[in-house]
């Protein structure tokens, strides 16, 4: 199982989720290129297509592609995971998408309004989407969480301190992933996804509207949808136990069906 996190986060976002996974599960939580402990290169492209290509290079390098695997992605990582499943179908055994980016919506919510402001801004450094001040951080968590009060002062301080030194990189990366050629990458590729797919979404998601779950389910032949009540965009943070349970149940059910098919 390979797990991909969201924008400006890192592999640690999965810690409270994976602690519930069985110890014999071959699990890889990856820092997406430009995030976590990876190298940040301002001159590189960070579109969904570019990130998908890098993930594929990693998968090939460690030999993970020798056998089809389960791919999990959340938010930006969900968009990359979906594009990966569409571009490299023979490598993906099954797929879990948690509130993925990359879909088209009929109306604009607060997130997309702020995204437009960032794209058009003369001073892109002053944005809630890539916060550096306490005020911006609180505004971001209010946007991303159903219960923003679960973020205490210490967590907020650590989150901001990790990102301040890399603000200009994250602005560049965010503009790349949100560019015209990248913004709807999952939407453009979703009909090519053949692997059994699980779609998990928070009903209170104010970043990507939960109606996206039905859009994906309609496009992907073998899919199931799980809507989480009282949950915002950061599913792995707000509902780690529930998301772990859903991912494992789905993974095991697909494995069981594959074994039954072999026996038959």
Active site residues: 75, 205, 233
Rounded distance between C-alpha atoms, residue 128 and residue 95, angstroms? 31
Q: What are phi and psi of 3, to 5 degrees?
A: -120, 130
Q: 94 by DSSP, 3-state: which?
A: strand
Tokens of 136: 């911006």
Partners of residue 98 on adjacent β-strands: 74, 200
Rounded distance between C-alpha atoms, residue 84 and residue 80, angstroms? 6
Largest Cα–Cα distance in the chain? Answer: 63
- Angular region, 107: left φ>0, alpha ψ -120 to 50, beta rest: beta
DSSP string across 163-193 = HGGGHHHHHHHHHHHTSTTTTTHHHHHGGG-
* Burial state string for 23-54 with b = 16 or more CB within 10 A and e = fewer than 16: eeeeeebbebbbbbeeebeeeebbbbbbbbbb
Tokens of 166: 């890399």
* Rg, C-alpha atoms of the chain: 18
β-strand pairing of 69-74 with 92-98: parallel
């Amino acid at each position: 199982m390979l797990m991909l996190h969201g924008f400006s986060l890192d592999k640690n976002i999965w810690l409270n989720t994976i602690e519930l996974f069985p110890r014999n599960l071959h699990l890889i939580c990856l820092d997406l290129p430009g995030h976590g402990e990876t190298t940040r290169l301002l001159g590189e492209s960070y579109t969904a297509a570019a990130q998908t290509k890098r993930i594929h290079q990693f998968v090939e390098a460690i030999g993970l592609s020798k056998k089809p695997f389960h791919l999990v992605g959340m938010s930006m990582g969900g968009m990359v995971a979906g594009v990966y499943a569409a571009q490299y179908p023979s490598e993906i055994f099954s797929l879990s998408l948690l509130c993925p980016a990359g879909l088209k919506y009929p109306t604009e919510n607060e997130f997309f309004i702020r995204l437009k402001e960032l794209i058009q801004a003369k001073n892109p450094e002053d944005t809630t989407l890539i916060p550096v001040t306490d005020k911006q951080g609180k505004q971001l968590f209010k946007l991303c969480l159903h219960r923003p009060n679960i973020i205490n002062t210490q967590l907020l301080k650590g989150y901001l301190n990790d990102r301040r030194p890399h603000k200009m990189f994250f602005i560049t990366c965010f503009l790349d992933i949100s560019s015209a050629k990248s913004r709807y990458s999952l939407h453009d590729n979703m009909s090519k996804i053949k692997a059994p797919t699980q779609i998990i979404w928070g009903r209170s998601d104010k970043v990507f509207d939960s109606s996206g779950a039905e859009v994906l389910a309609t496009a992907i032949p073998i899919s199931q949808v799980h809507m989480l009540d009282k949950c915002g965009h950061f599913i792995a943070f707000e509902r780690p136990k529930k998301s772990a349970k859903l991912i494992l149940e789905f993974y095991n059910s697909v494995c069981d069906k594959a074994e039954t098919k072999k026996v038959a």
